[in-house]
Structure 1
Amino acid sequence: MLKAASSLGVIFFPAFDWAISPTHPEREERLLYTQDQFREEGLFDIEGISEHRPLYASDLDIMRAHFCFPSVSAICTESHRISAGGAIQAARLVFEQETRRAFALVRPPGHHAMKVVHGNRGFCNINIEAVMVEWIREHYGRKRIAIVDTDCHHGDGTQDVYWHDPDVLFISLHQDGRTLYPGSGFPYENGGPRALGKTVNIPLPPRTSDEGYLYAIEEVVLPILADFNPDLIINSAGQDNHYTDPITNMQFSAQGYARLNELLKPDIAVLEGGYSIKGALPYVNLGICLAMAGCDYSGIREPDYNPAALRESPDLMDTIRQTCAYVLDSYHHPPMGDFEKQGEYFIRERKIYYDTEGILENQREELKDCESCRGVRLIKSSSSHLSTCLGVELPIDCCPACEQEGYTAFTRAKKNYVVAQLLDQKNKRFQYLSE
């Protein structure tokens, strides 16, 4: 009988009913092949590896992380709630010490969903990691949390949710945004004025393989994690870096993914992207599970795996080393961002495109430059589908002046906004106004 060195809870619920379309890689079958592989390889026969079902994310769970316009019910299907509930279950298993680690194998994914949500972008409606993080804070108190996003696409949604939060370190390794959706994730994107340096982006060139990814983990990610010293490490475990993935241009292998998790030692992993349904996911997921459980993963091999053919050129490795050196130096000496300031407020204005649904959002964020707390945040948003929305966020350390200002803005919202939502992190109050 094999025994796990570290107990692992695997959250699995293959009966998700959500799909972009019947032939899209993000469809029901995406986890069924993985389930079959786990059964065939006897993963759950290993002592210490157990299977669990997800919980179900409520409106309140989702509202802690998002402003959903016009409402949570308009944004989320049951599948989204179950996916987020799977991540919550992973956190519960770890914090209640039922298992040492947990891997939420769920879908749909979530890391492109930003603080404000008008619809689906990058296959994501709600940010399942953010919903989980806020659930952890609600039930277990304030924590220092590190999220390491290893999806091939930049985790722009998670970056946005925690852009102003110094308690959350967000690290994203991804294919260079000049060559892949969503076109962001550059080293100069290093956090808002209240959390400078707590966002770390490591853009890697197309055709990066195991050597390059693992170099970035060992030379950049691990030293930064050691410096930040988090209470919890979460791996946003996208698997579309795989050499067979149909929508990306990288060369990572199942062995590489397993070694990455062995090095990273995440407390929780949550499945994100990965669209080679037969060629990658069953092998990668199995490798990750074995690595998280401290089991031997050396026998995990894709049938067509040829490491010599996938290996980076010397020039490509030089580029990776230069990027990593720059990113590490920028973490320790973060350059001050060019933050626009109007009076007492930091201002950020953006246009955000929801590629899956064709929605264009115009957004203005106003963050109070307060000497006593992180500052009240007002997010004024409108889209091609819904006009004049307001989100008001009071931070966990909100001072009385910012608290009054936030509640005043929310109370007056009926005059100018179709929808308004209040997120009071300090007093754990959530309110909703609409016409």
Structure 2
Amino acid sequence: MLKSNNTLGIIFFPAFDWAISPTHPERQERLLYTQDQLREEGLFDIEGITEFKPDVASVEDVERVHFCFPDVPSVATRSHLISAGGAVKAGELVMEGKTDRAFAMVRPPGHHAMKVVHGSRGFCTINIEAIMIEHIREKYGHKRIAIVDTDCHHGDGTQDIYWHDPDTLFISLHQDGRTLYPGTGFPRDLGGPGAMGRTLNIPLPPNTSDEGFLMAVEQVVLPILEDFKPDLVINSAGQDNHFSDPITNMNFSAGGYAAMNDMLKPDIAVLEGGYSIQGALPYVNLGICLAMAGVDYSHVREPNYNAERIRQDARTTEYIKELCKQLPALYFDPPEFVSKDDSRQGIISGDHFVRHKQIYYDTDGINEVQQESVTLCKQCRGLYKVETRADSGPLCLGVEIPVKACPECRAKGYQVVEDAQIKGTYRYIQLINRLDKEYVRYGF
């Protein structure tokens, strides 16, 4: 009987009762074909690979991460909570030593969900990786965590959530935002003033194939991970870089995905995008599972695979080589934050960092405007405050007292909430107090 080198827990949740529309690419069939393929290949006959059921994330799990307005039940369905609960289950399996590694094959996805949530964007509503990570930190103690997002679309939501967190390294490999939704994810985006270099974007040109992806991982990602020394590595495992994906323009293969996962050696993988339901996902997921389990994956081949047909051209290779030369310095020797005359990028105003954001929820057709403010504190990460309004709706306020907050920032957080209640300017107020594990909402 074949035995895995690493014990692997696999969590399935196809979300039968949730889809944007019956024919939308983000639908239950994304996982049903995979589920059949894994069983047909005898994956669960390998000793050490076990299937587990998802948990259901609580409202508190979501409110630990997100400012949801008007509240969590208004924006997230039970399927969203189970998807996040599947990721939480993967985290608990690894943290409690029940398995060496875990892969949450769940939907709906989450990496486009930002700190503030008024609805769905990029098929995402709540950020399932961030919910898992913060559940781990609250239950098992604070950890240094690296997230490597390999979805074809830039993980702008995860980037937004961890923009000010020096203990979370976020690396995104994606199709260049000048050519694909959400139009973000450029090398200049490095994090807030207290976390410069903790965000690293690797925008790859259309038609990048296995060669380019694996080059970027070997020459950029792995040296940075070695230096950062995370307690956990999370792979935000989107699979829409595949050559057969209907909504992207890349040329990655199932074997390439498996090899990349083998190089990254993530503790936990969480499924994100990937919309070639029959031609890619069953084979990519199989390759990733085998790689995580430490089992030979060299035989994994999808239909219509032709290495020559999908090979990247010489110009693409040279472009990626140049990226690989330049990008590591942005982590190893990040520039000092420079306050620009552009509030969308962020400015220093007194003892605060301030930036303005305009966000479009393409799935729900919602426009949002935000003003974000972070106290520049020498003792802690600083008090976080965000004022937000969606379309012509009410003005809302989110306040976060960070983990390891100093007494001054903690007191200031409560004062901001108290003043806001007295003034009555905001229809909804949400307090996230990570120091005291207190999550409170106020509505008027």
TM range (shorter): over 0.9
What is the one-letter code of the residue matched to 2:95?
F
Pairing 1:27-106 to 2, within 5 Å after superposition: 27-106=27-106
What is the one-letter code of the residue matched to 1:389?
C
Residue 232 of structure 1 is matched in structure 2 by 232
The reply to whether residue 346 of structure 1 matches residue 346 of structure 2 is no
**Structure 1 residue matching 2:308: 3-state secondary structure:** helix
What is the one-letter code of the residue matched to 1:76?
A
Query: Whole-Å Cα distance in 2 between the matches of residues 348 and 16 of structure 1?
Result: 40
- Residues 276-318 of structure 1 show CA distances to partners (whole Å, capped at 9, x for unaligned) of 0011000000000000000011111012100111111111100
Query: Whole-Å Cα distance in 1 between the matches of residues 58 and 391 of structure 2?
Result: 27
RMSD (CA atoms): 0.8
What is the one-letter code of the residue matched to 1:130?
A
Residue 108 of structure 1 is matched in structure 2 by 108
Residue 270 of structure 1 is matched in structure 2 by 270
- Residues 11-61 of structure 1 show CA distances to partners (whole Å, capped at 9, x for unaligned) of 012343211110011112111000110111111000000000000000000
**Structure 2 residue matching 1:158: 3-state secondary structure:** helix
Deviation at 1:95, TM superposition (A): 0.7
Contact 1:70-1:386 at 8 Å conserved across structures: no
Residue 433 of structure 2 is matched in structure 1 by 424
Residue 392 of structure 1 is matched in structure 2 by 399
1:405 pairs with 384, 387, 412, which one? Answer: 412
Query: Whole-Å Cα distance in 1 between the matches of residues 392 and 53 of structure 2?
Result: 35
Identity of aligned residues (%): 63
Query: Whole-Å Cα distance in 2 between the matches of residues 399 and 262 of structure 1?
Result: 41
**Structure 2 residue matching 1:309: 3-state secondary structure:** coil
What is the one-letter code of the residue matched to 1:103?
F
Query: Whole-Å Cα distance in 2 between the matches of residues 387 and 364 of structure 1?
Result: 14
The reply to whether residue 199 of structure 1 matches residue 199 of structure 2 is yes
Stretches of structure 2 lacking an aligned partner (at least 5 in a row): 340-346
- Residues 380-418 of structure 1 show CA distances to partners (whole Å, capped at 9, x for unaligned) of 000116321000011112111111111011122231100
- Residues 121-147 of structure 1 show CA distances to partners (whole Å, capped at 9, x for unaligned) of 000000000000000001100100000
Query: Whole-Å Cα distance in 2 between the matches of residues 196 and 99 of structure 1?
Result: 34
**Structure 2 residue matching 1:353: 3-state secondary structure:** strand
What is the one-letter code of the residue matched to 2:385?
L
Query: Whole-Å Cα distance in 2 between the matches of residues 374 and 14 of structure 1?
Result: 38
Query: Whole-Å Cα distance in 2 between the matches of residues 388 and 56 of structure 1?
Result: 30
TM-score, normalized by length of structure 2? Answer: 0.97
Deviation at 1:10, TM superposition (A): 0.3
Contact 1:14-1:35 at 8 Å conserved across structures: no
What is the one-letter code of the residue matched to 1:56?
V
Query: Whole-Å Cα distance in 2 between the matches of residues 412 and 183 of structure 1?
Result: 37
Residue 26 of structure 1 is matched in structure 2 by 26
Residue 372 of structure 1 is matched in structure 2 by 379
What is the one-letter code of the residue matched to 2:402?
P
Bigger mean CA deviation after superposition, 74-83 or 380-389: 380-389
TM-score, normalized by length of structure 1? Answer: 0.99
Contact 1:410-1:420 at 8 Å conserved across structures: yes
Query: Whole-Å Cα distance in 1 between the matches of residues 196 and 245 of structure 2?
Result: 34
Residue 130 of structure 2 is matched in structure 1 by 130
Query: Whole-Å Cα distance in 2 between the matches of residues 78 and 361 of structure 1?
Result: 24
Deviation at 1:324, TM superposition (A): 1.7
Contact 2:15-2:108 at 8 Å conserved across structures: no
What is the one-letter code of the residue matched to 1:418?
R
1:356 pairs with 363, 369, 391, which one? Answer: 363
1:383 pairs with 383, 387, 390, which one? Answer: 390
What is the one-letter code of the residue matched to 1:386?
G
What is the one-letter code of the residue matched to 2:101?
R
Contact 1:30-1:275 at 8 Å conserved across structures: yes
Residue correspondences, number:
435
What is the one-letter code of the residue matched to 1:429?
E
After superposition, the Cα gap between the structure-2 partners of 1:385 and 1:271, relative to the gap in structure 1 and judged at 3 Å, is farther
Residue 156 of structure 2 is matched in structure 1 by 156
What is the one-letter code of the residue matched to 2:127?
N
What is the one-letter code of the residue matched to 2:115?
K
Residue 17 of structure 2 is matched in structure 1 by 17
What is the one-letter code of the residue matched to 2:430?
Q
Contact 1:359-1:385 at 8 Å conserved across structures: no
Bigger mean CA deviation after superposition, 300-309 or 328-337: 328-337
Aligned structure 1 segments of 4 or more residues deviating by more than 6 angstroms: none
Residue 307 of structure 1 is matched in structure 2 by 307
Query: Whole-Å Cα distance in 2 between the matches of residues 181 and 337 of structure 1?
Result: 27
Deviation at 1:336, TM superposition (A): 2.4
Query: Whole-Å Cα distance in 2 between the matches of residues 118 and 309 of structure 1?
Result: 43
- Residues 255-276 of structure 1 show CA distances to partners (whole Å, capped at 9, x for unaligned) of 0000001000000000000000
Contact 1:101-1:266 at 8 Å conserved across structures: yes
After superposition, the Cα gap between the structure-2 partners of 1:385 and 1:243, relative to the gap in structure 1 and judged at 3 Å, is farther
**Structure 1 residue matching 2:129: 3-state secondary structure:** helix
Bigger mean CA deviation after superposition, 302-311 or 331-340: 331-340
What is the one-letter code of the residue matched to 2:248?
T
Residue 343 of structure 2 is matched in structure 1 by none
- Residues 195-253 of structure 1 show CA distances to partners (whole Å, capped at 9, x for unaligned) of 11000100000000000000000000000000000000000000000000000000000
